[in-house]
Amino acid sequence: MADDKTLEFTGERFTPECVREIWYEHFHRYAFAKNLVANKQVLDAACGEGYGSSLLAAYAKNVEGVDIDEKSIAHATSRYPQKNTNFQQASVTQLPFSDNQFDVIVSFETLEHLAEQEQMLAEFNRVLKEDGIIIISTPDKKHYSDEQDFSNEFHVKELYKQEFKTLLDKHWQHQSWYAQSLAFHSVLEKIDAQNKHKYGTDIFSDDELITNQAFIKPVYYVVIATKEHNKLPQISDLHLFADSQQSVYQHYNKTIKDYIYLANKHNALLKEQQAWLSHRFLGKIIRFFFKRDN
């Protein structure tokens, strides 16, 4: 049951109280975007619960969060009262903003929820400055649905990569693509005395987002050594290793699904038992009074 500061999770809109995979996926996108919004006018389109707008507001000049759901907007306004953040109810296909108003538009996991995808992107193009950038995400239908034989009831129209690119090409020809996926890896991270990295990290700890900090605790050390400094090979600061089957993650994922299945089955059996006991107890009461009256 949600408290006053928590929006009930229905499966359609993410809330910060979610755990494990879905939490990583959603927070990672905003943590990634925050590096691109410093002192910018930002639109968070389909902001939902408002956690992402709040995160971006710590770096942006100001953030406008819009969502079509009135309850989500009321919740966001109440939970994230920041001076440089404003929330209002609106459709992403009909935005209440002037032309060329925003430096950055952020819209994560919105496109697949609409049939009017071209109209949404046209609106984004209208309110975005000529030199502005859009940061947008959507699931890949091939890997998200087809390969897993999965159907998300809240998705109206999922896209394959080329379909997504074709939509974007109509407005923004210069693009940098990133693939996002959860995985378990063995990690080799370079230890630098100055604690500088050639890659970006964001670690969430005690309700604080810590940027560019060491990624892992050293369980093992792997060292490359030589007598001459210039003989040390120049390699990446972060090296990931995993098997193509992602066997560790697959085992973890199966364990979680098995646990959920067993928990649901246990709850169902418990309800049946309670119903049976209630029925039996009620029957005894009825028989008792029937005998007494006769």
Burial (Cβ within 10 Å: 0-12, 13-18, ≥19) of residue 38: exposed
3-state secondary structure of 99: coil
**pLDDT at 1 (0 to 100):** 32
- Weakest mean pLDDT among 80-89, 105-114, 146-155: 146-155
Which of 12-16, 209-213, 259-263, 280-284 is predicted least confidently?
Answer: 12-16
Cα(294)–Cα(277) distance, integer angstroms: 26
116 CB contacts (<8 Å, ≥6 apart)? 93
Q: Name the least confident of 178-187, 218-227, 246-255, 269-278.
A: 218-227
Residue 187 above 90 pLDDT? no
Whole-angstrom distance, CA of residue 267 vs CA of residue 256? 16
Mean pLDDT (whole number) for 80-102 = 97
Domain-wise residue ranges, the chain: 21-169, 185-238, 243-294
Q: Does residue 231 carry a pLDDT above 70?
A: yes
- Confidence at 243, pLDDT banded by 50, 70, 90: confident
- What pLDDT does residue 3 have? 46
Instruction: Enter the pTM of the model.
Output: 0.75
* Average pLDDT of the segment spanning 35-51: 94
Q: What is the DSSP letter of 199?
A: S
pLDDT at 265: 87
The total of other beta-carbon atoms located within 10 Å of residue 141's CB is 18
pLDDT in tens, 160-177: 999 999 999 999 989 999
CA dist 28 to 79, 164, 172, 245, Å? 21, 21, 24, 23
149-155 average pLDDT score: 83
pLDDT confidence of residue 245: 82
**Cα–Cα distance, 68 to 46 (Å, whole number):** 7
pLDDT (mean) for 8-32? 70
Kindly state the percentage of the chain with pLDDT values over 70: 83
- The predicted pLDDT at position 200 comes to 80
Confidence of residue 2 (pLDDT cuts 50, 70, 90): very low
Mean pLDDT of 194-211: 75
Closest among 242, 175, 240 to 201, alpha carbons compared: 240
21-169 CATH choice from 3.40.50.1220, 3.40.50.150, 3.30.70.260, 3.40.1160.10: 3.40.50.150
Mean confidence (pLDDT) of the chain:
83
Max mean pLDDT among 8-17, 30-39, 213-222 falls in 30-39
**Pair of tokens at residue 157:** 């129209």
Question: Where are the alpha helices (H) located in the chain, listed in sequence order?
Answer: 21-33, 51-57, 70-79, 117-127, 141, 161-169, 247-293
Closest CA to 26 of 53, 1, 8: 53
pLDDT at position 291, please?
Answer: 63
